[in-house]
């Protein structure tokens, strides 16, 4: 497990250092999908696989925490590289631990707080959406989930990844385009960063 994890990590690090992420790059995104509904788990799993993601689907918040190694308030050790998760997509209404509670636990963890979390819900309640975003959720999908929803999420994620690399390259070339603060998961901030990147791309094409 640790050997596989080390290989994955090295490959990823190697590609990032070499700015090797091209438009056709297909580094697999590993998504942890959480939903108590068997039907919905099957659907989200298929949607994610079609979007070229590796998927681990679990049926509860508790199992999600177990998978991450966060169960019982214990922090994960570094030995979990083999199970590295790039995105968590979770249902909101679940018995036991809700998606919101799972979101909070992930964001409270120093090891896992950087993992983007997306909430799914059949109920489009504005206060619920706001609460999740405030707690650090990247996005909120209204069920039933469609392929376009999943594509949008994955596209945003991989764009962020490339955005981070391009910003670093620009800094190395002496251009001060953005702050060097660590990537936050606060959506409005993330969108601002993406906008400044887009501006650079357009101006360089003149």
Binding site for other proteins (CB under 8 A): 36-40, 42-43, 46-47, 50, 93, 122, 143-147
Beta carbon nearer to other proteins, 123 or 175: 123
Q: How far is the CB of 39 from other proteins (least distance, A)?
A: 4
Name which of 35 and 86 has its Cβ closer to other proteins: 35
Q: Two tokens at 17?
A: 């250092």
Nearer to other proteins among residue 35 and residue 81 (C-beta)? 35
Return the number of the residue (45 or 101) whose C-beta is nearest other proteins.
Answer: 45
CB of 55 to other proteins, least distance (A): 14
Least CB distance to other proteins at residue 148 (A): 9
Per DSSP, the three-state class of 169 is helix
As measured in angstroms, the least distance from the Cβ of 10 to other proteins is: 30
Query: What is the DSSP track for 104-171?
Result: HHHHH-TTTTTS-EEEEESS--HHHHHHHHHTT-SEEEESSP-HHHHHHHHHHHHHHHHHHHHHHHHH
Contacts of 79 (CB under 8 A, 6+ apart): 1, 2
Question: Are 158 and 16 within 8 A, CB to CB?
Answer: no
| Complex with other proteins: residue 37 or 166, whichever CB lies closer | 37
| Structural Rg of the chain based on CA atoms | 17
As a whole number of angstroms, the distance between CA 56 and CA 50 comes to 14
- Report the nearest approach of other proteins to the CB of residue 141 (Å): 12
């Amino acid at each position: 497990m640790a050997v596989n994890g080390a290989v994955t990590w090295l490959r990823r690090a190697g590609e990032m250092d070499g700015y090797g992420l091209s438009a056709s790059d297909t580094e697999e995104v590993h998504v942890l999908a959480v939903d108590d509904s068997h039907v919905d788990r099957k659907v989200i799993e298929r949607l994610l696989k079609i979007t070229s993601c590796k998927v681990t689907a679990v049926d509860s918040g508790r199992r999600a925490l177990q998978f991450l190694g966060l169960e019982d308030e214990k922090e994960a050790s570094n030995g979990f590289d083999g199970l590295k998760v790039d995105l968590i997509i979770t249902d909101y209404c679940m018995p036991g631990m809700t998606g919101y509670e799972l979101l909070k636990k992930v964001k409270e963890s120093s090891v896992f707080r950087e993992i983007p979390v997306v909430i799914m819900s059949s109920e489009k309640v504005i206060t619920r959406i706001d609460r999740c975003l405030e707690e650090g959720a990247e996005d909120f999908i209204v069920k039933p989930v469609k392929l376009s929803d999943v594509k949008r999420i994955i596209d945003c994620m991989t764009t962020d990844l490339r955005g981070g690399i391009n910003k670093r390259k620009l800094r190395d070339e002496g251009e001060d385009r953005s702050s060097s603060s660590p990537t936050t998961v606060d959506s409005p901030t993330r969108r601002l960063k993406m906008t400044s990147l887009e501006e650079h791309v357009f101006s360089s094409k003149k």
